[in-house]
Structure 1
Amino acid sequence: MSTYKLVCPHCNSRMRIRTSEGTHIFLRVAYLQCVNEGCGWAVRAAFEMTHEMSPSGMPNPTVRLPIAPVAMRRQAMKSAAGDDHPDLLDQLDMEAVTA
C-alpha cells in the first residue's frame, strides 16, 4: 500500500501523522512529526475540502462546496495521471488509529 507523502521542510525526511481530528465536515486538523530523530520537528496542519471536482453519485443536500473552475479540474486530472496516492482523509484516519 502506498502512503501519502509528507516531507519535512527542514531536513527533507518523511513526516508521520501522529493524530488527527475532524473539526468540521470539510476540515480535518492533523498533528505531524518528522521521523528523523535528529530533527524531530512537529507541526499542526489543516486539510480543507475547498471545491467540488466532480458531483457525488449519492449527493447529500447539506453538502455544498463551490464547483471547481475548469482550469483547476484539468490540473487535477493531469496530476492524477499515474498517481496511486490514497485519499488523504482516509490516510489521516488510518494513521490516527495506528498512532
Structure 2
Amino acid sequence: MRMMCPHCKDMAYTRTSGQLTVTSRETVFACRNPECGHTFTAVTEINRTLSPSAIPDPKVVLPISSHVQRALLQHQLQTMPGAAYTPSTRQQTGDLFEASPAAG
C-alpha cells in the first residue's frame, strides 16, 4: 500500500502493519524521498458495508452504506428460498522444509 508523504508529497511505502481491532489496522509508512526521510503511521478502518456478507459475524457491527436499497434487500432476503450450505475451511499448507512422513 502507498500513501503520499504529508511533507514532501512524494510516495511513502508500507514498512509494516498490524491489526488493531477486527475493523482497523495500523500501518507504518516510510517516505521514499531520501532528503525527507519522514516515517509515520496511519490507521485504516472499515467504516461501512457496501454488500452484506454471506457469513456475517454477529460481533462485527457496521452500518450499511446509504446507497444500499434496504427495502429491496429485505424483500429479497424474505422471498429467497433457503439452501443447505456449509462454509469450507481453508486448507492449511504444511511447512515446506519439513520432511514428509513418507521420507521419514
TM normalised by structure 1 equals 0.61
Unaligned runs of 5+ in 2: 69-104
1:27 aligns with 2:16: no
Cα deviation for residue 41 of structure 1 reads 0.9
- CA–CA distance in structure 1, aligned partners of residues 23 and 2 of structure 2: 21
Identity, % of aligned pairs?
34
Structure having the higher helix fraction is: 1
Higher relative contact order (CA 8 A, sep 6+): 1
In structure 2, the residue matched to 1:60 is 57
Instruction: Give the structure with higher Rg (CA).
Output: 2
- CA–CA distance in structure 1, aligned partners of residues 35 and 49 of structure 2: 40
- Equivalences, count: 68
- CA–CA distance in structure 2, aligned partners of residues 61 and 30 of structure 1: 27
Which amino acid in 1 is paired with 2:52? Answer: P
- Point out 4+ residue stretches in structure 1 off by more than 6 angstroms: none
Which amino acid in 2 is paired with 1:19? Answer: T
TM normalised by structure 2 equals 0.58
**Deviations 1:24-43 (Å, cap 9, x if unpaired)?**
00110111110111111111
In structure 2, the residue matched to 1:11 is 8
Cα deviation for residue 57 of structure 1 reads 2.0
Which amino acid in 1 is paired with 2:5? Answer: C
State the Cα RMSD in Å.
1.7
Alignment equivalent of 2:42, drawn from 39, 45, 52? 45
